Structure 1
Amino acid sequence: MRAGLSQEALSHAAGVSVRALADMERGRTRGPQRRTVQALAEALGLDDSEAVSLEKSAAAGRPRARAATGAAGSGALALPRDIQDFTARGPALAGLLELAREDGPGRPAVTVVTGQPGLGKTAFAVHAAHRLAPHFPDGQFALDLHGMDPEPTTPRDALARLLGAVGVADAAIPSGTDDRAGLWRSLAGERRVLVLLDNAADESQVGPLLPGPGPTLTIVTSRHVMAGLPSVHRTDLALLRREEAVELLTRIIGPDRVRAEAQAARDLADLCGHLPLAVRIAGQRLLSRPHERLGKLVARLAAEGRRLDGLQAGSLRVRAAFALSYRQLPSDSRTLLRRAALAAGADFSPETGALLSGLAYDEAVACAEELTDAGLLQSDPAAERYRFHDLLRLYAAEQVDAEDGPGVRGAALDRTADWMLRRATAAALHFDVDHERTASPSDPDPDGAPTGREEARAWLEAERAQWLAALRHAHDAGRHRQVLDTAEAMHWFSDLNQHWEQWVEIFRRSADSARSLGSRQEEAVHLNYLAWAYNLCVHDPHAALTAADGALAAAVECGDGLQQGWALGYGAGALHRLGRMEEAQARLREGARCLASQESPQSRLAELTMLNSLGTLLRQTGRPAEALEIHRRSERICRDGVPGRTEEVIALYQAVARQQIGNDLAALKRWHEAEAPLRQALAAFDAAQMPIWSEQARLDLGQVLGALGHPEARGTLLSARDALAALRNPRQAEAAEALAALDEAGTGTGTG
């Protein structure tokens, strides 16, 4: 060598590895890349003509892609054809383009594209590879690793094909996997090559195929998250947005058909769950039937039992895409996936999954995490909960029918319903004024039970769909005592959540269960609860009056004076809402008299409710002075106390009385006197975390502050309007009107 340099010295001077120099010398690398040649020429001190001659020699030996023959270790791995109607994924593509433009040691050499079955990971990766091709002039190769097959491609075979693609002769390919991986890293480190490793099984399959630092970019697609691969760029594909799904459909079947049935196109996108594979199948099916209306396919897919059958076109089948992943799962994970499809609501907890699948809690968590990593479940970003894609839930439900049968399915539902109702009953009792606020011994798992109101509320809200489904299941199965116990436990908790419309169903079922058990007293109780729900939760006074009259008849028949009083009160509330004021007033007075004659603490609280309601009715019918007298009487009863009831409970009733006293004083235009009791009421409701009550008191206070020209008026009314709207309370309209009047008057414009 004219420069007199050893391989080590030349390596240092040129910035080319000793191994690369040795491979050139042995003929393994017959055509080094242009920038490598330039670095060697400079290190060797060659003049221009010598450098040109060296480059020509290198170019002559540089390998060219060879036609694929399908045999392992031979043939170039050409990129598949790009999809011409590829849609959306703009931000994800931009991220890869930016990655391709980067250079230097800090650039990730690998990007992993993951997501659930049907998201179009391969289509995205192929499209991205074609877009990125100009950045990788030394070649673009694609290799299907068959990760979902019974026998995925081995790293050894995959490396043989990659080495062959970059020009290494079959005879020069090492026999061992590690040696092949080392040679591949060396060659890839010198070339600006793009490699697509599609359909990878796991990290152990992919790891040996990855290049070291250098200009090569590797795109890996997998249904698994590949969490074990370090220092990689990640592209997690999501479902299409609705408009993107419609755009994909438009590109497949043409804009004229979509414009002609715009709503049907949107409905079709929704029925496909915005899953690219499903939308593509629907589009291909319509494309093959140019005279078929979109609405016809929508009607077919609307039936859940036929939806997966409808989502197939030729060899494309949504069911088949799901089945590939399902068959790869261990037995316990398959069980959890299919049984979780029986859960109610949009998502489910590990508790529900464990109960349905018959697994221990920790086993269910491990399986759910595995299913999430496999793209078959989606995990909640904050809570330990999981959800299905709609189409995948249908597939999982099919597997329940196919693999478990009605007996196993019924046992899973029975087991889950019983556990859920016992936990729901114990949790709801934390809000019952007659119950100790400790974990109930009736809870199915006392060690894991909610230990206070906040935990109990959180559980009841998170599992609302599940325990309601359990109540339906128990009712339909004839377990009427369990239905009654659960509904009774929910009574006080329901007051905190008047905006939940399902209280109508809960108390309708419990009243029916009482009737089935032949208990007229319990029927009166639960019909009264039902009348309350009709009045305050769904604002249906006609149904409320029917329920209240039924409760009154049952209470009279069994001689229950307390329930007679409540029935008169709930009936009065319905009559009030129907505008039948005189009848409502008469029922309230009768109810108050009935309750005043009784001695129980429950009767005192019911009497307070009757008096507060009577006073409100008097005020609304133009008799605020009489109303004020009634409400002050109610306040005096609260101050005297009710034996057997806690100060906390009495404070709530006193807050109601004070709210009404404030409104009475406002009706009498005694604005300054009205402010204090309304503030006291609002503070009490806020402290008790009863938003449906506190927001109405906030509205009342805001109106008084507006009349006073107080700077807090607008902010108070604005807050009340927004909260009442969120609670679906009819008084939101009243709040909006008060705000508009305030703005028109130009007073109370502070923000609070």
Structure 2
Amino acid sequence: MRNLRVRHGLSQEALSHASGVSVRALADMERGRTRGPQRRTVQALAEALELDDDEAASLERSAALGRPRPRTAPAPVGPGSLALPRDIRDFTARGPALARLLKMAQDAGPGLPAVTVVAGQPGLGKTAFAVHAAHHLAPRFPDGQFALDLHGMDPEPTPPRDALARLLGALGVADAAVPVATDDRVGLWRSLAGERRLLLLLDNAADEFQVGPLLPSTGRSLTIVTSRHALAGLESVHRTDLALLRREEAVELLTRIIGPDRVRAEAQAARDLADLCGYLPLAVRIAGQRLLSRPHERLGKLVARLATEGRRLDGLQAGNLRVRAAFALSYRQLQQDSQVLLRRAALAAGADFSPETAARLAGLSHDEALARAEELTDAGLLQSDVATERYRFHDLLRLYASEQVAAEDSPEVRDAALDRTADWMLRRATAAALHFDVEHEHALSPGDPDPDTAPTSRDEARAWLEAEQTQWLAALRRAHGTGRHREVLDTAQAMHWFSDLNQHWEQWVEVFQLSADSARLLGSRQKEAVHLNYLAWAHNSCTHDTQAALTSADAALAAARDSGDGLQEGWALGYGAGALQRQGRVKEAEKRLREGAHRLATENSPQGRLAELTILNTLGTLLRQTGRAAEALDLHHRSERICRAGVPGRTDGVITLYLAVTRLHIGNDLAALERWSEAEAPLRQALTALEASQVPAWAERTRLHLGQVLAATGHPEARTTLRTARDALAALRSPLQMEAVEALAALDDIGVATA
């Protein structure tokens, strides 16, 4: 104190006036009569002397050494101490998280001590990060840095009472002076910690009840808590979220472990190894340690071993480091229902799953499954979607869960779970798809397995069908494979109109291949004709495989004639003609279309009228494309008259849709005749109606043709219209996107003005 005062040119009286500390107290400090002034006294003097942080910390250390202690002997350093574990030499990545933690420590005020929780799934490197951060932060906490393993994954985690005894011992409190009651230990610990600047690492915490009593309540301490659980009940804490490593970070970690020469020699194998480890730090470290212990083994050899899913977890072990063991610790801690849900969820198809899927697989109610899924998310065993109630596994955790379902559930139990889930999924998918079927447009969705949660509108039905696309398709496969062919037909039939609104989904080929096979196995030639026609449509419109489309259409034609179904015969002729036309066999295509139109003209059903409209429009398109635009326009005007007259038994919405498509053709006919100004109006009308009907495949086709007409007239909207069409067609994976690209290029060539 005397040295600092004299250096700043102050008398005792001047320093007393500036700090509020009495002259007598200052004199006692400088003479050594007062060896341990209170922290607030030291802070007041440091502020009056305008000391920097290092000088203030040095002064506080001097004062702290002189304060009375319950025990004068220092805390022991050895196996029983709370010294920080050694830092990891090859620690990699985590720069942003470390920077945030350092800033939090720097900005911490004298009020509420800072606490950060580092939580997440097994293997993320939470402890390694916390230890690394603690070593970086240690100089800021001169009064002690303590690390305490709370054994949260053990059958009996460390009780708060025992943890408090160890912390008090680390502060120098004699065993005999440690209070008996837990509350008294909490009080003493917080009183002593509040006077010190401590860094506390509480590793492997079990829950909030274990951690809460250990947190200092005042002072400038920093506590880092690691846990596999979210510890969401802890208030006023920061959260340090550790993500999986990026691919390049995983390769960097591997490089630091085994050396750059081996990684450079097999760069692609190193990247593949990072991929197979799922970018999980523990898995990458184990792979690296295994390779380090075998200096002559090629990386490609380990990659080949891990590439087989059934051997991957076996390969990810090195000494006592094992990915499987890390997962098992968390799994054994779960309640029985949570264990069942975790392992059965591995049976779900696709990258993620909903609570409904998990409930069916685990044999739980929806609410129970949701509660268990949230518990597993808090335990770091599942990852939840940020916007919807959907969950996913880390790849390695899914493999572990699959092992558990194979070990703990018999084949009969697994089959029952899959059948139960498939049945529920198909019933919900069928009911949702019927929202788009013109024959059920105003009806409630029948047969839904849970009417209380069923989609009630087209928007909700579409959202469910899109989100659960992988699940209901897997259910369709299972139903087909287990002989439930009637369910397959019902679902595929319900999907018919919905599929037409989503022609960019290539899986329609599989859907209708399964249903056509089921119809054949049921021995129904008429149903086989229906679903073979759907299959021909899917090959034509979704995958653009003209030969497969022609084969399916020919098979449908044979089945329709065998069963005497004139409607399906007409459709088969039309789908076959579409395939032939795309192959350049125009005369054959025209012959089939005329035959199909003639056959459908004899059909008096509403379905027959709609099919006739489709065939007439397709025939008109062929005529236009072969230089007979005037004939095509006459044919399309005939279709327009049929639409305006209406079709008994069909709603205005359906007829509006057909009229829109017909107007698209009329606009294209007029454009082919270079009657540009007349072509614009029907194309705009068609686009408005098709957008309102939410038929993107047809709407974007129309936008393309409108853009071409606008370009021909030099309209300022041409470029914007074509760009919008190009991007949308690309998203739909439509071959027409190239036509849009070429139209835009032509605009550039002729220098048409932009909007």
After TM superposition, is the score higher than 0.5? yes
Query: Which residue does 1:398 correspond to in 2?
Result: 403
Distance 1:565 1:56, change over 3 A: closer
State the Cα deviation string for residues 647-683 of structure 1 (Å, max 9, x = none).
1101111111101111111111111111111101100
CA offset at residue 262 of structure 1? 2.1
Alignment of 1:535-684 (within 5 A): 535-684=540-689
- Segments of structure 2 that go 5 or more residues without pairing to the other structure are 1-18, 23-33, 48-58
CA offset at residue 438 of structure 1? 3.3
Q: Is the Cα contact below 8 Å between 1:439 and 1:449 reproduced in 2? A: no
Distance 1:375 1:42, change over 3 A: closer
Given the alignment of the two structures, is residue 151 of structure 1 paired with residue 151 of structure 2, yes or no?
no
> Matched residue of 1:183: which SS?
helix
State the Cα deviation string for residues 511-554 of structure 1 (Å, max 9, x = none).
00000001011111101100111111111111111111111111
Q: Distance in 2 between matches of 1:509 and 1:179?
A: 71
Q: Is the Cα contact below 8 Å between 2:113 and 2:219 reproduced in 1? A: no
State the Cα deviation string for residues 374-411 of structure 1 (Å, max 9, x = none).
11111111111111111111111111111111111110
Given the alignment of the two structures, is residue 38 of structure 1 paired with residue 42 of structure 2, yes or no?
yes
Given the alignment of the two structures, is residue 413 of structure 1 paired with residue 418 of structure 2, yes or no?
yes
Distance 1:160 1:86, change over 3 A: same
Given the alignment of the two structures, is residue 470 of structure 1 paired with residue 478 of structure 2, yes or no?
no
Distance 1:479 1:33, change over 3 A: farther
Deviation larger for 58-67 or 460-469: 58-67
Q: What percentage of aligned pairs have identical amino acids?
A: 76
Report the number of matched residues.
714
Distance 1:624 1:57, change over 3 A: closer
Q: Distance in 1 between matches of 2:732 and 2:153?
A: 48
Given the alignment of the two structures, is residue 58 of structure 1 paired with residue 66 of structure 2, yes or no?
yes
Q: 1:91 aligns with which of 89, 96, 101?
A: 96
Distance 1:587 1:33, change over 3 A: farther
TM-score (ref. length: structure 2): 0.91
Given the alignment of the two structures, is residue 120 of structure 1 paired with residue 125 of structure 2, yes or no?
yes
Alignment of 1:492-507 (within 5 A): 492-507=497-512
Distance 1:268 1:88, change over 3 A: same
CA offset at residue 590 of structure 1? 1.2
Given the alignment of the two structures, is residue 174 of structure 1 paired with residue 174 of structure 2, yes or no?
no
Alignment of 1:12-411 (within 5 A): 35=39, 38=42, 55=63, 58=66, 66-70=75-79, 75-105=80-110, 109-411=114-416
Q: Distance in 2 between matches of 1:479 and 1:191?
A: 72
Q: Distance in 2 between matches of 1:518 and 1:264?
A: 52
> Matched residue of 1:434: which SS?
helix
> Matched residue of 1:231: which SS?
coil
Q: Is the Cα contact below 8 Å between 1:705 and 1:748 reproduced in 2? A: no
CA offset at residue 259 of structure 1? 2.1
Q: Distance in 2 between matches of 1:345 and 1:677?
A: 43
Q: Distance in 1 between matches of 2:737 and 2:583?
A: 19
Q: Is the Cα contact below 8 Å between 2:112 and 2:217 reproduced in 1? A: no
Letter in 2 for 1:397: S
State the Cα deviation string for residues 15-53 of structure 1 (Å, max 9, x = none).
9xxxxxxxxxxxxxx99588556359899xxxxxxx999
Q: Distance in 2 between matches of 1:749 and 1:347?
A: 44
State the Cα deviation string for residues 210-241 of structure 1 (Å, max 9, x = none).
00121110000000111111000111111111
Q: Distance in 2 between matches of 1:558 and 1:384?
A: 47
State the Cα deviation string for residues 448-481 of structure 1 (Å, max 9, x = none).
2111211111111111111111100000001111
CA RMSD of aligned residues (A): 2.3
Distance 1:326 1:14, change over 3 A: farther
Q: Is the Cα contact below 8 Å between 1:116 and 1:223 reproduced in 2? A: yes
> Matched residue of 2:329: which SS?
helix
Q: Is the Cα contact below 8 Å between 1:189 and 1:211 reproduced in 2? A: yes
Distance 1:631 1:178, change over 3 A: same
> Matched residue of 1:116: which SS?
coil
CA offset at residue 485 of structure 1? 0.7
Distance 1:704 1:106, change over 3 A: farther
Letter in 2 for 1:247: E
CA offset at residue 432 of structure 1? 0.8
Q: Distance in 1 between matches of 2:711 and 2:345?
A: 53
Distance 1:411 1:53, change over 3 A: closer
> Matched residue of 2:118: which SS?
strand
Q: Is the Cα contact below 8 Å between 2:680 and 2:710 reproduced in 1? A: yes
TM-score (ref. length: structure 1): 0.92
Distance 1:174 1:547, change over 3 A: same
Q: Is the Cα contact below 8 Å between 2:152 and 2:204 reproduced in 1? A: yes
Q: Distance in 2 between matches of 1:119 and 1:282?
A: 15
- Segments of structure 1 that go 5 or more residues without pairing to the other structure are 1-11, 16-29, 44-50
